[in-house]
Amino acid sequence: MDVLEAIRTRRSIRKYDRDAAPVTAGELRAILGAGFAAPSAHNRQPRHYYVVRDREKRETIARIGRYTKMAAEADLCIVIAGDTSMQKSIELLTMDCSASIENMLLAAHGLGLGAVWCGVFPGASLEVDTLTSLVGMPTQQVPLGIVVVGRPGETRESVDRYNPAFVHMEEG
């Protein structure tokens, strides 16, 4: 699948095939590699990735968030954290982690897996303290997202969201 096709056809997948083979170590490595490959401000790469495969831990992630229920049925979650000792700006940290998350979603899709981005930020509808202690995250790191991954248990059509009304070409 080429990059434009991957971008065009990616959808959030929240249902997973529990009878299918688990995500392999090679697939996980490829997804993480895509995360590391993302751009970051000043190329500081201030991102950490916590892989959660354990079922009980995934059930906790499902329970502590209003929009994270799918984590219980997935194969794994990747909690992504920004390192405030490497990048002081929370705005840049958030952008750095977001670029990484999108890369991981596209990589998962390109591998035939299903994934969804769950937003995490201070004040989000998710118990952030429970999440950080669950994965053993040190205090200088701030969790900024969770990528939930599994073998797809649903098919979702691609949608063309191009809207010329929101494209502002220069005059002339």
Binding site for ligand FMN (CB under 6 A): 11-12, 14, 67-68, 116-119
For residue 14, the minimal CB distance to ligand FMN (Å) is 6
For residue 169, the minimal CB distance to ligand FMN (Å) is 25
Q: Which is nearer to ligand FMN, 12 or 45 (CB)?
A: 12
Burial class (CB in 10 A: 0-12, 13-18, 19+), 118: buried
Q: Which is nearer to ligand FMN, 66 or 168 (CB)?
A: 66
Q: Going by C-beta distance under 8 Å and a sequence separation of 6 or more, which residues neighbour residue 87? A: 40, 41, 42, 44, 46, 93, 96
DSSP string spanning 8-58? HH--B---B-TTSPPPPHHHHHHHHHHHHHS--GGG---EEEEEE--HHHH
For residue 153, the minimal CB distance to ligand FMN (Å) is 14
For residue 81, the minimal CB distance to ligand FMN (Å) is 15
Strand partners, 145: 80, 119
Q: Which is nearer to ligand FMN, 12 or 84 (CB)?
A: 12
Residue nearest to ligand FMN (CB): 119
Q: Which is nearer to ligand FMN, 8 or 25 (CB)?
A: 8
Q: Going by C-beta distance under 8 Å and a sequence separation of 6 or more, which residues neighbour residue 151? A: 16, 17, 20, 21, 23, 75, 112, 113, 114
Q: Which is nearer to ligand FMN, 159 or 172 (CB)?
A: 159
For residue 105, the minimal CB distance to ligand FMN (Å) is 8
